[in-house]
Chains A and B, each alone.
Chain A
Amino acid sequence: MSTKNIEEKQYLLRFKADTKSHLTVMDDDICMTKCPDKICTIFCPAEVYKWEGLRMQVGYEGCHECGSCRIGCPYQNIKWEYPKGGHGIVFRLA
């Protein structure tokens, strides 16, 4: 059985993306100056967060809505809400 990388794993899922992000990095400067590890880019199970040198890119469309980034951000710098009703990830199996 082939091992799937994260892009392939995400491709298995159904998302009904909202037009507006339910995740907000409140201050990119905090990521830049205080957070050398940018740990959310590592532990996020959907690779939602990508550091672009000056700011954090937030690919909210692929979010599993697990809540790890809100709890795991060492600077409580992520505002985390639920996507609008009926939007976001749609698990079909487990």
Chain B
Amino acid sequence: MPEKFDVIVVGAGPAGTSCALVCAQKGLNVLLIERGEYPGSKNVMGGVLYRKQMEELIPEFWKEAPLERPVIEQRFWMMDKESVVQFGYKGLEWGVEPYNNFTVLRAQFDQWFAKKAVEAGALLINETVVTECIVENGKVIGVRTDRPNGEVYADVVVLADGVNSLLSKQLGFHKEFRPDEVALTVMEVINLPKEKINDRFNLEDNQGCTIEIFGDSTKGNLGTAFLYTNKDSLNIGVGTTLSSMIKSKMKPYDLLDYLKTHPMVKPMLAGGESAEYLAHLIPEGGYRSVPKVAGNGVVVVGDAAQLVNAIHREGSNMAMHSGLLAAETVIEAKHRGDFSESSLNLYRQKLYDSFIIKDLEKYKDATHTFENNPQYFKEYVPMMNKAMSKFFTVDGTPKRDKQKEIMKSVTAERGTFKVIQDIYRAWKAVK
């Protein structure tokens, strides 16, 4: 029955569904293939969905999408064993239209989003694994699936098959990722009554809070933890680069339990009931790990293209925007009737001109810097905690003497030259 589509999109996550939606809206014949029982059944995210890139696809989506809470407060914790240095921002302007970002539960959100693509005319096929791209004369002309007679053809195949992207690896777009290019993250959804969440996080019903936790949350390893508020549940998770997990011989679920029982965290979860446990890889190699993203008859979007800004925990927005840029490219290629690599390279150009690659480029050295210099998480976070404790403990010591003591203890631990070097190195990595 060789059936031919204009576009086949592999993977109904944020990147794939965005691309399918826009292509379908423009009248293209779109097949969206999902390997899970339903879109979202294989997908995991800490939980922050950004308004801007979603709004470009579905204006005023917040009026109907299954969202949890608009985030009005973002906190950052530098956590030691029995203390925490905190900063953050809370603003009511994020709690009203057009909002800044939202917490979501992906299994619900992804289903709703894929339904939008279907309503626009895309054909969604669930429970189907794409086993390989069909390549003829150096050009991708379709995909082979695990269904009987499961070959389907298209002018363009969009690989939105997630962080593991076996398909782009098969095409030789990238080698196997190294353990320092991915973060292994585990999380739990913990049910907790809405009133308790509102009280503990100082929120109203329709206000959300996110906390990013550095330092002892990963036992000083390169990574972060997070605690996000849903309507009547919390998402708590922790991840480190797979290489750190291996080096330190940590079991990820033990690390999660360490976090959940940490004295700074435990009271916030008290009385909650675990509802789900999830593990996933996050592509965190950044700029240098972005593979080839366009070939003859094929483009790569979202996590499959390593489009994640780990420093700002942005990923779903980059996925969606890359899906949109891929769709624009496919539509233009269709007008030209040219689906060659040089034609589809327009997608690459759009990607590199957008905030996506600009932001990845800005932080291109960050992961490597922090991976190779564990002192930032292992030493400076405890130092910050000690400094704050000393400075705010009233014990009759004049403040100027306290400042001197703090400076002395910092340089004594690391050495003056090293401290200057560390500051310069960190600044260079994120400037």
Contact = CB atoms under 8 A, between A and B. Distances in A.
Given A3-B257, A3-B261, A86-B35, 8 more contacts: A1-B273, A67-B281, A71-B178, A84-B146, A85-B147, A90-B37, A91-B276, A94-B187
Given A42-B250, A46-B279, A82 B271 contact: no
Given A45-B184, A71-B179, A94-B106, A85 B145 contact: yes
Contact of A66 (B129, B190, B270, B279): B279
Contact of B272 (A1, A64, A66, A67): A1
B126 A94 contact: no
B interface bracket (residues with beta carbon within 8 Å of A): 35 or more
A54 interface: no
B14 interface: no
B291 interface: no
A39 B252 CA distance: 12
Interface string A66-77: 111011100010
User: Sorted from nearest, which 6 A-B pairs have the closest CB atoms?
Assistant: A86-B127, A45-B279, A9-B277, A64-B279, A67-B164, A85-B127
Interface of A: 1, 3-6, 8-10, 12-13, 16, 37, 39, 42-43, 45-47, 64-68, 70-72, 76, 80-86, 88-94
A32 B360 CA distance: 41
A16 B44 CA distance: 18
Contact of A45 (B127, B186, B273): B186
Nearest to A16: B37
B249 A39 contact: yes
16 contacts: A1-B260, A1-B269, A1-B270, A4-B274, A10-B277, A39-B249, A66-B279, A71-B179, A82-B35, A85-B128, A89-B42, A91-B42, A91-B106, A92-B41, A92-B107, A94-B278
B245 interface: yes
Given A71-B178, A85-B127, A90 B279 contact: no
B35 A85 contact: yes
Given A6-B253, A43-B242, A93-B105, A13 B277 contact: yes
Contacts of B41: 89-92
Contact of A68 (B40, B108, B274, B281): B281
Contacts of A76: 176
Contacts of B271: 1
Interface string B104-137: 0111100000000000000000111100000000
A91 B280 CA distance: 11
Interface of B: 35-37, 40-45, 47, 105-108, 126-129, 145-147, 163-164, 166, 176-179, 182, 184, 186-190, 233, 235, 242, 245-246, 249-253, 257, 260-261, 266, 269-281
Contacts of B178: 71
Contacts of A8: 274
B179 A72 contact: yes
Nearest to A89: B42
Contacts of A37: 249
A77 to B, nearest CB: 13
Contacts of B186: 45
A51 to B, nearest CB: 14
Contact of A43 (B177, B187, B250, B275): B250
A66 B145 contact: no
Contact of B107 (A66, A83, A94): A94
B279 A86 contact: no
A2 B187 CA distance: 15
B263 to A, nearest CB: 14
